Amino acid sequence: MARNHAHGNYSHTQKKARNSGGGRTPADRARRTLSQNFLVDRHAVDLMVKAAGPEGLVLEPGPGEGALTLALAEAGAQVVGYEVDPRLAGRLASRTRSDPRIDIVRRDFTTVRAPREPFAVVGNIPYSITSKIVDWCLRAPALTSATLLTQREYARKRAGGYGRWSLVTVESWPWFSWKLGDTIGRESFRPVPSVDSAILRLQRRPEPLVSGGRSYQELVEVGFGGVGGSVRASLKTRYDGVDTALAAARVSRDTVVGHVHPDQWITLWEHLCR
């Protein structure tokens, strides 16, 4: 979500109410302080629900006024929404008090302990803490999937949309797939942000692609270490047989680390670490 600090989504109006002294209402001040941009496009909400395929327990970072929350519940999920804005949290809690499918908690999602039972995360999240929320999801052992509306550039980078792959994606690839979903234009938000958003989908794999998690992560960290300007130069500082492994993975000797596909990293691990 196009916000810089706290959560909230979906608002029918965004009038800037001013008092006689030229100030702002509490709602305006909160929106400015928390940099909230609310999702106002019902079609975008439907795209999120379709991408998430919600069922069972779903945690929602920043439910705001509840557009996505209600849609997830209507699709069959048991939703727990974590809202840091006390005004929004109170209003949504009152609105959904009689709905057994929804529980609203006034709390920062990133401070929440992950459930032990299987669960998914679905949310329209703030740009500035996107990485923090993604890291939280990747560390949660029982997470099945995360469907996140993020800045489009972030989603493209993580899903390899620029033909390059980030350390976060490569390092988590044996356990999670990353998929770039629909673009949500900036006009779908109020106030209108300066960039478009996109749906980013993380899906836990039924079985990991490697048997040695730590050895794989060490391999990737060495590769991304930046020694010599190529993945070959970096890996040769630690591993024997690098040229044979690169040939098996069909990676050229001068390939820059970001251009190595995550699946090729699996092949490198098979030849260098097993």
Annotated binding site for S-adenosyl-L-methionine: 37, 39, 62, 83, 108, 124
Instruction: Return the exposure string of 11-50: e unless at least 16 CB atoms fall within 10 Å of the residue's CB, then b.
Output: beebeeeeeeeeeeeebbebbeebbbbbbbbeebbebbbe
Residue 81, amino acid: G
Q: Give yes or no for a contact between 25 and 17, defined as CB atoms under 8 angstroms apart.
A: yes
Which of 223, 231, 184, 192 has the alpha carbon at shortest distance from 49? 184
> Residue 188: what residue type?
S
Answer yes or no: are the C-beta atoms of 196 and 186 closer than 8 Å: yes
Contact 159, 178 (CB under 8 A): yes
How far apart CA 245 and CA 146 sit, in angstroms, is: 33
Instruction: Give the residue ranges of the annotated binding site.
Output: 37, 39, 62, 83, 108, 124
- Start-end of H helices in the chain: 26-34, 42-52, 67-74, 86-95, 130-139, 152-158, 167-172, 213-223, 231-235, 242-249, 262-272
Contact between 89 and 9 under an 8 Å Cβ cutoff? The reply is no
Helices 262-272, 242-249: axis angle to 10 degrees equals 140
Signed CA dihedral, 169, 174, 175, 177: sign only? positive
